[in-house]
Amino acid sequence: MLNELEVLATMEHALIVENLSIACALGIDLDAPDGGPMTDRGRDAASAASAQAISEMFHLKRINRALVASGRPARMDRADGVTTASGQVLPVPPDQAGLDRLLERERSLAAAVDARYTGLAAVATTVFEDKERQTWRDLLVDNAPNHFDDLAGLLTALDGMAPADFLRATRRTANNGFEQRMLEMSGRIYGMIVHTLQGSFDPDFATAAPFREMATALMTLMDESNHLLVQQGLLPPFPPI
C-alpha cells in the first residue's frame, strides 16, 4: 500500500502541473486584452482549473504527511504521464494535441487516478481498523479524493465550446531571447519550489517551518512569472525535476 501511495503522490504532482497548465492555457485571471479569457465561460473554466490545482496540492500534502508518518520520505517527484483505462499514456504537462482534446483528456486522467485510489480503499477498509490507522482510512476511504466529480466546474464551463474559443496561450517555444529567458526563469522557479517543498515535510517542525515559508514565497513568484508568460501566449514549461 505504501508503494502504491508513493506512485499516487507522483500522479497528484502531475495533476497539479496539469491544472496549472490548463489555467494558463485558458488565460488565468488576466483581462482579455492582456491574453485572458475572452468569455465569461472561459473565465469560469480558468477559475475552476486554478481551484483544482490548489485542491491537488492538498491531496499531495495529505499523501506525503501519511508517508512521512509511516517512516518513508515525502515524494516530490512527478509522473511523466498517467496511464488511462485503455492503456494510453497521457503525457503531463499537456501538449497541443492534449489541449485540443481537453475535456476528453481530463475525464480520462481523472478516472485513471480515481481508479488507483479505489484499489487502495478496498484494502484500507479491511486492513486499517484500529484507531491508530484512522489517518489512512480518512485518506483512502472516508475522505478520498474524487477527481472525476471535481471536474464538474471545468466541464460545465467548456461544454460545447471549440478549443479555438477558449485556448489563449498554447506556445511552448520562445520566439526570441526575451521569451526564452522568461521560460527558463519559470522553470527554475518551479524547480526551486519542488526542492523547497521536499524540506517542508521534514518530521522536525522547527526544521520544516522555514521551508514552508520559502515555498509560499516562491509560489507567489511563480504565479507572477506565469502571468507574464501567458501575456506572451506562452505556457510555463514545468521541466522534469
pLDDT at 119: 87
Identify the pLDDT of residue 241.
Answer: 82
The sign of the dihedral angle between the CA atoms of 49, 54, 56, 57 is positive
Q: Let me know if residue 200 belongs to a domain.
A: no
Residue 12 lies in a domain: yes
3-state secondary structure the chain: CHHHHHHHHHHHHHHHHHHHHHHHHCCCCCCHHHCCCCCHHHHHHHHHHHHHHHHHHHHHHHHHHHHHHCCCCCCCCCCCEEECCCCCEEECCCCHHHHHCHHHHHHHHHHHHHHHHHHHHHHHHHHCCCHHHHHHHHHHHHCCCCHHHHCHHHHHHHCCCCHHHHCCCCECCCCCHHHHHHHHHHHHHHHHHHHHHHHHCCCCHHHHHHHHHHHHHHHHHHHHHHHHHHHCCECCCCCCC
Identity of the residue numbered 139: L
Asked whether residue 198 is assigned to any structural domain, the reply reads: no
pLDDT of residue 105: 96
Position 24 in a domain: yes
Angle, vertex CA 133, rays to CA 131 and CA 138, nearest 5: 100
- The pLDDT assigned to 142 comes to 81
Task: Please tell me the predicted confidence (pLDDT) of residue 205.
Answer: 86
Question: Residue 116 is part of which domain span?
Answer: 2-170
Residue 57 within any structural domain of the chain = yes
Residue found by looking up cell 488511462 in the block: 84
- All cell numbers assigned to 183: 521560460
Rounded distance between C-alpha atoms, residue 21 and residue 25, angstroms: 6
Distance CA 110, CA 105 (A): 9
Residue whose grid cell is 501566449: 233
Task: Check residue 141 and give its pLDDT.
Answer: 79
CATH code at 49? Answer: 1.20.1260
Q: What pLDDT was estimated at residue 123?
A: 76
Q: Which residues of the chain carry a pLDDT beneath 50? A: none
> Does residue 207 form part of some domain?
no
Distance CA 181, CA 114 (A): 38
Give the model confidence (pLDDT) of 96-131 as tens digits.
Answer: 999 999 999 999 999 999 999 998 887 776 665 565
Number of domains in the chain: 1
Answer yes or no: is 222 within a domain: no
pLDDT at 176: 97
Domain-located, residue 36: yes
